[in-house]
Structure 1
Amino acid sequence: MEQIGRFAPSPSGRMHLGNVFSAMLAWLSIRSCGGKLVLRIEDLDPDRCRREYADQLKRDLEWLGLTWDEEQTPQSLRSEAYHEMFSRLEEKRLVYPCYCSRVELHAASAPHASDGTPLYAGTCRNLTDAQRAAKTKTPCWRVAVPDEDVSFTDGLQGAYTQNLARGCGDFIIRRADGVYAYQLAVVTDDAQAGVTQVVRGSDLLSSTPRQIWLQRQLGFPEPSYYHVPLLVAPDGRRLSKREKDLDMGALRRRYTPEQLLGMLAHACGLLSHSESVRAGELAGEFSWQMVQKENIVITNP
């Protein structure tokens, strides 16, 4: 069976060092097993995503030598596919409209997950048809999750279990403005691209159980997951696109592609010291057993 990986960036700004790190590991993982890499532009949010950012993102990946074999249709053009999956969930009576305001959702009295994230209290789950008809606010749509544990073994982080009711609650799959939400879109896209291997940042580890649950409801196969460490500043802050000195514009002025890849490969344990190296050279020796699990502190890139 051919292995298919993907790199799925959001074009909301210039790629930064953390994006490059995830892209490098996704590329190395799939190339090391002779598989195929799909590039997907995750541009669901029309307010933040721009075409010029997507074009620049591709140029930066090509500069790094992290090429792809095919490109999936951008998410902004795939509403029909998401609607079909939404309808399947609707037929199974798993979705319902939610009229709650942002203030209600984030009230101090609202339930919270163990990490402090607000959980939806299920306020609108069991409204009657009459109660819904009386509402004037345009609703978002949520999927009703069971009080059920979902477990999987991450290829890097190891065993992970989450109770859906207590860990994520009923989550949004379509916003009030009609835009389909990330969780439904990514599950649909991965299935339709035949993705067998998902490599992404460990900040998305807690999203995986709900995505696996969606895959099971929709009859999709479950890919393997590898959640890679985040790059953080010395004070523990996650590097982001706001750190302009770490975006690809600044990095390309300071490094060659080989220097940048060598620095990141050394930081995660693939090389014993930082040296200039091409992506293809790293792929031949790549093993997930060499990659560290813990977040990586970047002091002076």
Structure 2
Amino acid sequence: MTTTQRQKPVFRFAPSPNGPLHLGHALSAFLNQDMAAAMDGRLLLRIEDIDQTRCTPEFEAGIYADLEWLGIDWEKPVRRQSDHIAEYQTALHGLIERGLVYPSFLTRGEVKARVSASEAGGNPWPRDPDGSPHYPSDDRDRSEGDRRKMLESGLKHAWRLDMGRALQAADRVLSWSETGDGETGGIAADPSMWGDVVLSRSDAPSSYHLSVVIDDALQAVTHIVRGLDLFHATSVHRLLQVLLDLPQPLYHHHRLVTDAKKRKLSKSDGDTGLADLRGKGLSAADIRNLVGL
């Protein structure tokens, strides 16, 4: 990377190859390219393929084909998360050594049963902004000896951020600068609303939260342009950036493209898939119009 490249604003479009791109992805890709061009910046493409159970080479090839058709021009080479597992694991182990992360052993079924029993008894269970219940405190409260025995027994486990300890370690008021389609200006971050978030699972060596902040730092990303569905997740990302001593980018969370029922588009929505729309004879200019640009 040259000195001139470092000084330029850096944007990134970071899809996951777990399904075909749709109109919502097109909006995000267009905005990243348009904003990078307006600021004489750079545009990177990152393939977020940590979840190897759902990500496939066919979907990754589809991403390249769709973006080329849209006229999106990105720098080479592309960063693929599956090539950088060691970097995420190094960061995770550092957090473990500091006592900020703990192994969690409860299954999804056990958590669901606990939550259902609590709510059936008239006791509301705390939930994160996506509506998922916070993880119970059982594993967070275990002694080090019990944790060691359970780990040595080979039990499947995830690694979760101890939110209380992490906030104490950060020891500062967290916030970020926002220029998007919702709230703007200085936004107060509240990571506690997410509870003890997962940073690594038995079937995935890194979570979205952990890998995305490391990738953005290593790629020197200065401007993060993504959908409003990730607005609240930025609170967790700001906490991890502080804990890992990573730089703070600027954020722009854009409006979402929704279906007729005002629901966020899914990769299973074939009628909004870019490849299907291309097959029906639409042009890249048509797609820009469809997403309101």
Task: Give the alignment's TM-score, normalised by structure 1.
Answer: 0.82
Long gaps (5+) in structure 1: 271-301
State the 1:134 CA deviation: 4.4
Comparing 96-105 and 35-44, the one that deviates more: 96-105
Q: Which runs of 5+ in 2 are unaligned?
A: 1-6, 119-124
For these two proteins, the number of residue pairs brought into alignment is 265
Q: Which residue of 2 aligns with 1:92?
A: 98
Counterpart position of 2:88: 82
* CA apart distance, 1:170: 1.1
After TM superposition, list the pairs within 5 Å mapping 1:1-301 onto structure 2: 1-106=7-112, 107-108=115-116, 109=118, 110-113=125-128, 116-135=131-150, 136=153, 137-146=155-164, 150-156=174-180, 157=182, 158=184, 159-165=186-192, 167-252=193-278, 253-264=280-291, 267=292, 270=293
| Deviation sequence 1:131-190 (CA, Å, 0-9, x none) | 22443522110111236763223111215334322x101111110235211111111111
Q: What are the Cα deviations for residues 12-42 of structure 1, in whole angstroms up to 9, with x where unaligned?
A: 1211111111111111111110001110001
- Following TM superposition, the consecutive aligned residue runs of length 4 or more in structure 1 with deviations greater than 6 angstroms are none
* Structure 1 residue 45 displacement after superposition: 0.8
With 141-150 and 221-230 compared, the bigger mean Cα shift is at: 141-150
8 Å contact kept, 2:10–2:44:
yes
Range moving further from structure 2, 130-139 or 248-257: 130-139
Greater RCO (Cα-Cα under 8 Å, separation 6 or more): 2
Single out whichever of 176-185 and 52-61 deviates more from structure 2: 176-185
Where 1:198 maps in the other structure, the secondary structure is strand
Structural RMSD (CA): 1.9
The Cα of 1:99 is off from its aligned counterpart by 0.9
2:121 maps to which residue? none
* C-alpha distance in 2 between matches for 1:232 and 1:94: 38
Letter paired with 2:50: L
Between the aligned partners of 1:140 and 1:160, the Cα distance in structure 2 is 30
Residue 3 of structure 2 corresponds to none
Q: TM-score by structure 2 length?
A: 0.84
Identity percentage of aligned residues: 33
For residues 204 and 283 of structure 2, what CA distance do their matches in structure 1 show? Answer: 43
- Paired amino acid for 1:219: D
